[in-house]
C-alpha cells in the first residue's frame, strides 16, 4: 500500500514506546543480490520509506499489505529534501512506528545513510543497518571489471562527481592528484553530468588519455548498458550513446580486463544454457 507523504502527529509517547529504524541496503538493482538479512527484514516490515534507485523486483520482497512511502531523489527533483526525510523518520518513530529505510546500493556508500543514522541516534531513536552490495560492486561483477587486481590495481577509490557550490561557482571538488595516481581503480558515482570535466582534469593531472574507462548505466538492471573507451574518448561516447543517470564511471587499467573476463563469463553462461 503506497501512501502520500505526511508527517505523523506530534509524539506523545515515552521514549521506551518509540519505534526504531532499520537502514537497509537494497543492492544495485537485481533482487537476487539482496542479502538474506535484507530480504527477511523487508518481508517483515510494516512501514517502508524507499528511494528512487530501488528496483521493482526488490520492492516485491516487501509484504503486500505494508505501508510504502516514496522519498526518492533525482537530480533537481527531490520528493523531500534530506532534512525532511530525517524529520519524517523522527516524527514517525517518536509516534510509535518502527520503519525500514530502504536505500539503493549500500546505505553508507553515497547513500547518506551516515547522516540519517547520526540524526536518528542524536534524537534518541534506535537505529541499525543492514549493508547492501554497492553499485560499484554490482557493476564490476556484471561487466567483468575486477575492482582490484594484483597486477594492475592495489587500490580502489570511490568518489562522487556531483557539482558543489552555488550558481556560477559550482564545480567538481575532488582531489584530482589523488584520483590520478597509477595502479588504482577509480569509480565515480553521480558523474555523468560532469564527465567532461572529470576526464579532462584526470588527464591534466597526469593520467594518460589512453587510460581505459567505462560507463555502466543501470548496473544489474534488465536495462543495463555498458560503454567502453578511454579517458580521451569517453565524453564523446557518452553523448553518442546518450548515457543517462544512474550510471557509474570506472577508470583504470582493470577496466580493460572486461574484454577477457566479461566475455568469458558471457560465454560460460551461454554454454550452460
| Active-site option among 51, 74, 106, 175 | 51
> Mean pLDDT throughout 250-267?
86
Total-model pTM: 0.89
Q: Which residue has the cell 554497492?
A: 134
pLDDT tens-digit profile of 55-98?
999 999 999 999 999 999 765 555 789 999 999 999 999 999 99
* Domain extents in the chain: 2-133, 136-263
CA separation for the pair 45, 22 (Å, rounded):
10
77: helix, strand or coil: strand
Average pLDDT, the chain: 91
Output the pLDDT for position 272: 38
CB 113 within 8 A of CB 107: yes
Can 253 be counted among the known catalytic residues?
Answer: no
* CATH of range 136-263; options 3.40.50.1460, 3.30.200.20, 3.40.50.10540, 3.30.950.10: 3.30.950.10
CA separation for the pair 215, 191 (Å, rounded):
10
Using CB atoms within 10 A of its CB, is residue 239 exposed (0-12), middle (13-18) or buried (19+)? exposed
Confidence at 1, pLDDT banded by 50, 70, 90: low
The fourth-level CATH superfamily of domain 2-133 is Tetrapyrrole methylase, N-terminal domain (3.40.1010.10)
Output the pLDDT for position 28: 97
| Active-site option among 10, 37, 73, 74 | 73
Find how far residue 226's CA is from the centre of its chain.
17
Sheet with 127-130, strands from edge to edge, namely 2-3, 67-70, 47-50, 99-103, 21-25, 127-130
Can 73 be counted among the known catalytic residues?
Answer: yes
Domains 2-133 and 136-263 share a fold: no
CB 225 within 8 A of CB 139: no
pLDDT tens-digit profile of 171-218?
788 999 999 999 999 999 999 999 999 999 999 999 999 999 999 999
Instruction: Give me the sign of the Cα torsion angle 72, 76, 80, 85.
Output: positive
Output the pLDDT for position 79: 73
Say what percent of the chain tops pLDDT 90: 84
Amino acid at each position: 500500500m503506497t501512501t502520500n507523504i505526511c508527517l505523523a502527529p506530534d509524539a506523545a509517547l515515552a521514549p521506551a514506546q518509540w519505534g526504531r529504524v532499520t537502514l537497509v541496503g537494497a543492492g544495485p538493482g537485481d533482487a537476487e543480490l539482496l542479502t538474506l538479512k535484507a530480504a527477511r527484514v523487508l518481508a517483515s516490515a510494516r512501514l517502508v520509506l524507499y528511494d528512487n534507485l530501488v528496483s521493482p523486483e526488490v520492492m516485491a520482497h516487501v509484504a503486500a499489505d505494508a505501508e510504502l512511502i516514496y522519498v526518492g531523489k533525482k537530480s533537481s527533483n527531490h520528493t523531500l529534501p534530506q532534512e525532511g526525510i530525517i524529520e519524517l523518520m523522527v516524527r514517525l518513530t517518536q509516534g510509535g512506528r518502527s520503519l525500514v529505510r530502504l536505500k539503493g546500493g549500500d546505505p553508507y556508500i553515497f547513500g547518506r545513510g551516515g547522516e540519517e543514522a547520526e540524526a536518528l541516534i542524536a534524537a534518541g531513536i534506535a537505529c541499525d543497518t543492514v549493508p547492501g552490495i554497492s553499485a560499484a560492486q554490482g557493476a564490476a561483477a556484471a561487466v567483468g571489471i575486477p575492482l582490484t587486481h594484483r597486477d594492475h590495481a592495489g587500490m580502489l577509490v570511490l568518489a562522487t562527481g556531483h557539482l558543489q557550490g552555488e550558481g556560477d561557482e559550482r564545480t567538481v571538488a575532488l582531489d584530482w592528484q589523488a584520483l590520478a595516481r597509477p595502479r588504482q581503480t577509480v569509480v565515480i558515482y553521480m558523474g555523468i553530468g560532469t564527465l567532461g570535466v572529470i576526464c579532462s582534469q584526470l588527464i591534466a593531472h597526469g593520467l594518460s588519455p589512453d587510460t581505459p574507462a567505462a560507463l555502466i548505466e543501470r548496473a544489474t538492471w534488465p536495462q543495463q548498458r555498458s560503454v567502453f573507451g578511454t579517458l580521451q574518448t569517453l565524453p564523446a561516447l557518452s553523448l553518442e550513446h546518450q548515457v543517462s543517470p544512474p550510471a557509474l564511471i570506472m577508470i583504470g587499467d582493470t577496466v580493460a580486463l572486461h574484454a577477457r573476463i566479461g566475455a568469458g563469463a558471457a560465454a560460460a553462461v551461454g554454454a550452460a544454457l
